[in-house]
Amino acid sequence: MQRLSSIIDRHGDASVSLVQSGTNDANALRTANAFEGDMQSLVSRLFAEGMDVHVATLPPILDAGSGLSSTRNQRIDQYNDRIRNNITGALSGADIWAFFAPDDTGDSVADRIRTFLFADDLHPNGLGHAIIAQLWYNVLVGDSTGTAVVPFIADFLSRSNYKLNLLEDGDEYLVDSAAQLTSVPASLQSAIWIMTAQADSGNSSSDFLSFDLDRNATVYVAYDADAGGLPNWLNPATSAFTEVPGVQLTTTQTSYRIFSRPVSAGSVMLGGNNAAGAAGASDMYLVGLLP
Say whether 47 sits in a helix, a strand or coil.
helix
Give the CATH number, domain containing residue 19: 3.40.50.1110
pLDDT at 144 over 90: no
pLDDT at residue number 244: 97
Residues 138 and 35 in one domain: yes
Cα angle: 288, vertex 239, 185; to 5 degrees = 30
Residues 15 and 49 in one domain: yes
pLDDT at 231 over 80: yes
Residues 100 and 27 in one domain: yes
Contact 35, 23 (CB under 8 A): no
pLDDT in tens, 182-211: 999 999 999 999 999 999 999 999 999 999
Residues 136 and 28 in one domain: yes
Decide if 151 is inside a domain: no
Domain housing 170:
163-290
Residues 198 and 133 in one domain: no
Contact 224, 283 (CB under 8 A): yes
Decide if 153 is inside a domain: no
pLDDT in tens, 42-82: 999 999 999 999 999 999 999 877 899 999 999 999 999 99
Residues 11 and 134 in one domain: yes
Residues 125 and 227 in one domain: no
Decide if 152 is inside a domain: no
| DSSP structural state of residue 60 | P
H or E segment and range at residue 91: strand 90-92
Split into its structural domains, the chain has a count of 2
Decide if 156 is inside a domain: no
pLDDT in tens, 71-104: 999 999 999 999 999 999 999 999 999 999 999 9
Residues 273 and 169 in one domain: yes
Residues 111 and 194 in one domain: no
Residues 112 and 180 in one domain: no
Residues 217 and 244 in one domain: yes
Decide if 110 is inside a domain: yes
